[in-house]
Amino acid sequence: MSKKGYWMAMVDVRDPEVYKQYIEANAVAFAKYGARFVVRAGRHANPEGPTGNRHVLVEFESYNTAIACYESPEYQAASKYRLAASTGHFVIVEGA
């Protein structure tokens, strides 16, 4: 059985209106690849320094599915809005 895959992101949103377009557009890829949001914004504390104003943890059935979603034409089209509206740290990891 393969391990799950996760997208982890800590983002500073500079343009909330454009970022809303990203959220709307990424729904297509997330539905296609069975993404499940474990964390999507919400309250947070930064006990060791700034980490951004938006935090996201997305779970996929496998690491390979997480990579496939990121590389998909649907997500790549959506990511243009994220990159235009924010800066941050983004990683795809294999987990439990």
CA angle 58, 96, 68 (to 5 degrees): 45
Mean pLDDT of the chain, nearest integer? 95
> What residues does each domain of the chain span?
5-48+65-94
pLDDT band at 47 (very low <50, low <70, confident <90, very high): very high
Query: What are the C-alpha distances in Å from 77 to residues 34, 42, 44, 85?
Result: 18, 26, 29, 14
Task: Determine what percent of the chain is predicted with pLDDT higher than 90.
Answer: 90
Reported pTM: 0.91
- Which CATH fold topology does 5-48+65-94 show? Alpha-Beta Plaits (3.30.70)
pLDDT band at 73 (very low <50, low <70, confident <90, very high): very high
Angle, nearest 10°, between helix axes 16-32 and 63-71?
Answer: 130
Task: Give the whole-angstrom CA distance, residue 77 versus residue 41.
Answer: 22
